[in-house]
Structures are given as structure tokens and as C-alpha cells.
Structure 1
Amino acid sequence: MLIPNLYTIKNTEKIDENNFKVQIELNPNHQVFEGHFPNNPITPGVCMMQIIKEITEGFVLKDLFLSKVSNVKFMATINPFINPILDLSLNVVCENNEVKVKNSSFFETTNALKFSAIYKVLD
């Protein structure tokens, strides 16, 4: 974990070979929220991208390097004190030496993030 104690995985469900649902809980007391932003904590987008990468690495059991982001839309701010529980839907496809990921991240019924990327598998 690149940023220790930022989140915990609460539940993981494999829907089929390529689709997964994961529920995480953000740690609202993590120091990253002291700087982003004081008295108005918002989960940094780059942290969400890192969380998705780490979860994907757990599914494919390989170390990954972010190669290309084809789509990223931050659709709602994620305040870890108000909405610490996030539900992530991931479509993960391994082809050759790449892993393609499509993600939607929600809190309650609000879609907070849409993210599509290609990762290179590290040897």
C-alpha cells in the first residue's frame, strides 16, 4: 500500500471472470486529509486512482504501472467524514502484458468517479 492506512477493504465480490465489486472504507483521520483541504477534507483524485490500482493488483496478482488513462471524470467530491464508505465496480481485462480497467466509484447512490486506464504488467 503506497499510502498506508488510507483505506480498508470491507468486502470483495467476484461477479464473473472480469467483473468485481469492492467496498472500501476511507480513514477520515488520515493525515492526507489535513492538507487536502484543512477544515474541508476531500479525497484527492490521485489517491482514488492509486486505490483502484492497488485493488486491481490484488485481483491480477501482479505489480502494475499506470500506462494510459483514457477517461477520468470526478463527478462528486468525496468527503471522508460524510461518506467514508465507497463501492467500486471494476471491469478488469488482462491482454498480453497489459491490464485494462474500467471503474465506477460510488458513495450511496452518487457516482463519484468514472475511470478507465491501461496498466503495464511489471516483471
Structure 2
Amino acid sequence: MMLIKDFYKIQATRNVDANTIHVTILLNKNHDVFNGHFPGNPITPGVCMIQTIKEITQDHVERNLFLQGISNVKFTALINPHINPELVLELSIIEENNTVKVKNITKFTNGTIALKCNGTFITNTELV
């Protein structure tokens, strides 16, 4: 389930190997989030990209996930939905007990890297 309704649409998912998936998404350039970030020069908010990574990972592992930590976050290009609405998320996902570790590289379709980060998520069973 998307926290930010209609923010993106999954175009394709490809299993690369046992731990890696490539997911192509299309950002909704008309989404309200871009009206405030920033008017006349829309930039995809970093928190929205982290949420997107979490949601795609959650769907892949078929468990509810909660962000425990994120590290090595590097935005190397501005993600403007009018210029680069289609993104490819390369996700390496390792599950260990109730922890899911994700290494992400988000690229434009021309291969330019826009975002790199590592995330650690826990399932709701660890919150009890």
C-alpha cells in the first residue's frame, strides 16, 4: 500500500538474482507533493524516495516493514519528474531474522545515478 497515494506507478519488476531486483517506476509529475517542492521547479523530496524504497522492499519481502536506520545517503542528481519521470531502482535485499537490509541505487533511464543509500528495516514483530 502506498503511503503517498498515486505518487508513483510500478512499470516493471525484474529479478536479477536471489537477492537483487530492478524496479522501474514512473513518477506522477502532476502529484500535489510537487506543488510545494518546489513551485515552478519540482524536485522529488528525499523522504518520498526513501518511502518508495521501503514500499517496494516491503512488497518484495511480503512483510510490513519499519525503517530502523538509513546510511550512506547520497543524492547525486535532482529528480525532476518533468525531466526524468521514469526511474530504475536497483535493490539488493538481504533478510536476516526480523531485519531486512537494502542497498539501493536509483538511476534515470539514461544510466545517471540519482540516489544511493543503505537502509535497515525491521518487521513489526520486533516492536513488541
TM-score, shorter chain, exceeding 0.5? yes
Q: Note the aligned Cα RMSD (angstroms).
A: 0.6
TM-score scaled to structure 2, two decimals?
Answer: 0.94
Give deviations 1:51-105, integer Å, cap 9, x for gaps. 0000000100000000011211111000000100001100000001100000000
**Paired position in structure 2 for 1:106:** 107
Query: Which residue identity is paired with 2:37?
Result: H
Q: How many residues align?
A: 123
Correspondence list, 1:64-79, <5 A: 64-79=65-80
**Secondary structure of residue in 2 paired with 1:37:** coil
Counting aligned pairs with the same residue, the percent is 54
**Paired position in structure 2 for 1:87:** 88
Query: Which residue identity is paired with 2:105?
Result: S
**Paired position in structure 2 for 1:118:** 120
CA distance in 1, matches of 2:79, 2:71: 22
**Secondary structure of residue in 2 paired with 1:59:** helix
Correspondence list, 1:1-123, <5 A: 1-107=2-108, 108-123=110-125
Deviation of the 1:15 alpha carbon: 1.1
Query: Which residue identity is paired with 1:104?
Result: I
**Secondary structure of residue in 2 paired with 1:14:** strand
Runs of 4+ in 1 over 4 A off after TM superposition: none
Deviation of the 1:17 alpha carbon: 1.2
Q: Which runs of 5+ in 2 are unaligned?
A: none
TM-score scaled to structure 1, two decimals?
Answer: 0.98
CA distance in 2, matches of 1:68, 1:93: 15
Q: Which runs of 5+ in 1 are unaligned?
A: none
